[in-house]
Structure 1
Amino acid sequence: MFGDPVTNPMGWEHGTIRDIVTEVKYGTSKPSVDGGSYPYLRMNNITFGGQLDITDMKYIDLPNNEIEKYIVRKGDVLFNRTNSKELVGKTCVFNLDEPMVIAGYIIRIRLNDKAIPIYLSTVLNSDYGKLTLNLMCKKIIGMANINAQELQDIAILIPPKDLQNAFAAFVHQVDKSKFSDRKWVETFAPSHTLLSDLIGKHQKIHLPE
């Protein structure tokens, strides 16, 4: 879907998620409370297709010294580390301005300047990503788990930032219109195999037939 990470026909830099992150943090195990100060993101707030779903929200209070540990901000990548084997590894980009807090079953990922959030999220939600996660997860009492170290060991291709940014621009356009992007895809994407693959994945999830 994103170029074979083994054969790497386009010659992109070949690395692991560890190479593109500055921080990988678990969420809090504190329970939600009625009337809490912060929206509380749980594993059901990340969809299988890689979207943030805040239709069913809980709330939480945190002491001041824990806020920065567990809060998520616009541009963070969220990874569901514990779930059923079919759902573990759901990933999305947190794209809201309002800060929220993540529960312990979610990992907050912050990236360095080698990659952008939507690229990593799309890789992990791709067929390659889901197969990799399915093969590596450990089952514990009916639930599957992938810890932060295992997540960072996943092999990925690291394409040039200009292609990643072009894909981000495409995603932004899709968000504005579900149909007008088709012309953009036909004229721009064929010149870049990886970008075309990324777009194909995003269309499959977000565009009507």
Structure 2
Amino acid sequence: MFGNAVLNDKHWDVKPLLQLSSLITNGNTPAGGSENYVSTGVMFLRSQNIWRKTIDLKDIVFIDQKTHENLKRSNLQNKDILITKTGRINTENSSLGRAAIFYGKNGSANINGHVYLVRIKGTVLPEFVLEVLTSKEYRDYIRKVCVGGIDKRQINLEHVEQFPIILPPIDLQNQFVSFIKKIDKSKFLAY
């Protein structure tokens, strides 16, 4: 519907993700790492929880309220986009650059230092941005701009801020998101 989101073969307006966001930041891992985890409390999402378009809570850990408040900058809000910062690039399920939307109560979760938080302004739909970021073309783009060793790489904050995002009109974004939701729902019903 929108062509190649990286090549922009349909000539949409394009803006860097920074201009479409009110906040782009990475999380922080509190001093002591896993020693801060508690049996119940505030969800603390790590890169292994972020998959393509999905947040997997099977291996979720928790932090206490005080630690959560100390990490205020990375408190999640409903519809924040989460992008993994590091990972191997030579596998199909590479953890580098995976993205998902957090659907939850504001302030009910936080992220560690291997995850970026992107809070979208009202000028573009977070669900549309997620579709762009999780496309095959974008995955290839991320692999080109990342830095690091032969196998394990990282996306820098500046990379994320400069991610080019195509901007079709909002009514087309709404149609597209509605279509994607119907497809996802039909996949779910097929099982």
Alignment TM class, shorter chain as reference:
0.7 to 0.9
Which AA in structure 2 matches 1:16? P
Report the secondary structure of 2:166's partner residue: strand
1:39 maps to which residue? 43
Q: Which amino acid aligns with 1:108?
A: L
The whole-number CA distance in structure 2 between the counterparts of 1:53 and 1:145 is 21
Identity %: 25
Shift of 1:5: 4.8
Tell me the residue number matched to 2:97.
89
- Maintained 8 Å contact 2:42/2:62: yes
- Aligned positions of 1:66-145 closer than 5 A: 66-85=70-89, 86-97=94-105, 99-140=108-149, 143-145=152-154
Deviation at 1:163, TM superposition (A): 1.3
Structure 1 gap ranges (5+): 181-206
Q: Relative to 1, partners in 2 of residues 1:66 and 1:167: Cα closer, same or farther, differing over 3 Å?
A: farther
| Deviation readout 1:102-144 (Å, 9 max, x if unpaired) | 0110011001122111111111110111011001111159531
Q: Match of 1:147, as an amino acid?
A: N
8 Å contact kept, 2:100–2:130: yes
Determine whether 1:52 maps to 2:55. yes
CA drift of 1:149 comes to 1.2
Normalization by structure 1: what TM-score? 0.75
The whole-number CA distance in structure 1 between the counterparts of 2:40 and 2:151 is: 31
Helix, strand or coil for the counterpart of 1:72?
coil
Q: Classify the secondary structure of the residue corresponding to 1:144.
A: strand
How many residue pairs match? The answer is: 181
**Normalising to structure 2: TM-score of the pair?**
0.82
Q: Name the structure where strand makes up a greater proportion of residues.
A: 2
Matched, 1:13 2:13: yes
Alignment partner of 1:160 is 2:147: no
> In structure 1, what is the Cα distance between the partners aligned to 2:110 and 2:139?
25
Quickly say closer, same or farther: Cα 1:5–1:126, change in 2 above 3 A.
closer
Please list every run of at least 4 consecutive aligned residues from structure 1 whose deviation after the TM superposition is greater than 4 angstroms: none
Aligned-residue Cα RMSD (Å) equals: 2.6
Partner of residue 169, structure 1: 178
